[in-house]
Structure 1
Amino acid sequence: MAQANPYLNARREWDERYGDQIARAKSWRIAALAALAVATVAVAGVAYIGAQSKIKPFVVAIDKMGSPIAVAQPSNGSGVTQRIIEAQLANWIVNTRMVLPDQTAQQTLLNRSYAMLSSNAASTVSDWFKSNSPFGAAYTVNPQVNSVLPTGANTYQVNWTEVKAVPGQNSTTTHWKAQITVGVDAKLADKPQVMLDNPLGIFIQSLNWTQSVS
């Protein structure tokens, strides 16, 4: 039987005793470095979030006629789209041209109408109402928008039909069209008197409407 080598035995004992300690120390170093990396990423994330703007945008949901029905915060902001402008213009025609027997309801419609008008457009509409006042009228007018067509970068043609009803008489139908130039100014919604009726800041710069041949 070969005699045991005391050098090899000592070497083996050293490897078993201290090698495991070295391996454990290496594992702890790796774990510590990983924890440090995670902490660094977390701190950077908190700093990034803290640097973000605390002013959060909100989007106004509208119905098929363009009336605001809900407000919600989106994941990211978006501008006023062409479809929204078209819906708002259709809604504006209805508010402006409709004639109701209830004067309170009529005034509500006109408030919504004027909330979307520039001073130039408001002058045009006011001139119309001087000879076509909806208050105290002996008839009603029900407008129905048929189409809103873009004709340029900021211009649209609106086509609609009006049914005028006089008590005791047959109703009459006429066809109308308007050329409208629009703009968008979100600051308009900052005004309390405008915010509820025009939350998107869409306004009519100029308009011209005429009756069409049937």
Structure 2
Amino acid sequence: MGLKDIFRVREKADREMTENPYLNARKQWNFIMGDMVSSRLLWQWAGMTGLLIGLGGVGGMIYLGSQSKFIPYIVEVNKLGETVAVARADQPQATDERIVRAMLGSFIGNARTVTTDIALQRKYVLNTYAMLNPKDAAAAKMNEWLNGTPESSPFKRAEKELVSVEIKSVLRQSDNSWQVDWVETTRAHDGKLLKPPQNMRALLNIYYVPPTTEQQIIVNPIGMFIRDFSWSNEL
């Protein structure tokens, strides 16, 4: 029953009052009970309205509270330390090819370098996997290389030899493919060459996934991943 119906019933009852005191008393009693029912309905309407307003307010606060207040930015500076570009890291941006080249060169260096410093070697391995997705072929290949035979595992190779990597070039081959050329030098622990420096070449297929957490921004700021790769000696 709505509010209009309640008042309409009361007006109708007022018009039906008679001269019979008994009937009038009964009707008066009905009026009293009707007023109580009306008051109860009014309070119920008020309570429901207040409840809905309260729920709406709480929902709004929860929504606002769930929104991230941390907005990451990438700032590019020149050699003098002057800011030359600023962009939000949580939004897709046109990636500077110089950054792509540097990251791909670092990926090869991290994956191929062998050092006796165990902590540094672990850092190289972690930096390598920061650009790999476990679901991609590149991750499976890198697992085989880093955890495979004594001839490939950097921790096992470090027991008898050291390998340094010198990046020569990083060239775009297509929208998603890059070629990296480098020279590997293998030495004994006393610094003597164990074999002539080797010219190496890799073909890397890449894609991008924008970082969504602070940790992802730290280890892979542009969200670039290696989907697949191959490398070999160049004669």
Once residues 112 and 59 of structure 1 are traced to their aligned partners in structure 2, the CA distance between those partners, rounded to angstroms, is 19
Q: CA deviation at 1:185?
A: 1.0
Once residues 75 and 226 of structure 2 are traced to their aligned partners in structure 1, the CA distance between those partners, rounded to angstroms, is 19
Tell whether 2:151 aligns with 1:128: no
Once residues 55 and 179 of structure 1 are traced to their aligned partners in structure 2, the CA distance between those partners, rounded to angstroms, is 37
Question: Among 213, 224, 230, which residue is 1:190 paired with?
Answer: 213
Question: Among 95, 98, 101, which residue is 2:110 paired with?
Answer: 95
Once residues 85 and 180 of structure 1 are traced to their aligned partners in structure 2, the CA distance between those partners, rounded to angstroms, is 12
8 Å Cα contact 1:111-1:197 kept in structure 2 = no
Query: 1:104-130 CA distances to partner (integer Å, 9 max, x unpaired)?
Result: 110011100100012321111111220
* Structure 1 vs Structure 2 CA RMSD: 2.9
Write the letter of the residue equivalent to 1:152.
Answer: S
8 Å Cα contact 1:160-1:176 kept in structure 2 = yes
Write the letter of the residue equivalent to 1:148.
Answer: V
State the match for 2:163 in structure 1: 141
Once residues 209 and 63 of structure 1 are traced to their aligned partners in structure 2, the CA distance between those partners, rounded to angstroms, is 33
Number of matched pairs = 152
State the match for 1:176 in structure 2: 200
List alignment gaps of at least 5 residues for structure 2: 1-68
State the match for 1:110 in structure 2: 125
Question: Secondary structure of 2:154's partner?
Answer: coil
Q: CA deviation at 1:197?
A: 1.6
Q: CA deviation at 1:154?
A: 0.8
Tell whether 2:168 aligns with 1:153: no
Where does 1:37-76 land on structure 2 (aligned, <5 Å)? 56=71, 58-59=73-74, 61=76, 74=86
Shift in CA distance, 179/91, structure 1 to aligned 2, threshold 3 Å: same
Question: Secondary structure of 2:145's partner?
Answer: helix
Q: CA deviation at 1:82?
A: 2.0
Query: 1:123-159 CA distances to partner (integer Å, 9 max, x unpaired)?
Result: 1111122021111421110000100111111100100
List alignment gaps of at least 5 residues for structure 1: 1-53, 65-70
Shift in CA distance, 75/201, structure 1 to aligned 2, threshold 3 Å: closer
Once residues 170 and 163 of structure 1 are traced to their aligned partners in structure 2, the CA distance between those partners, rounded to angstroms, is 8
Question: Secondary structure of 1:196's partner?
Answer: helix
State the TM-score, normalized to the length of structure 2.
0.57
State the TM-score, normalized to the length of structure 1.
0.63
Identity %: 27
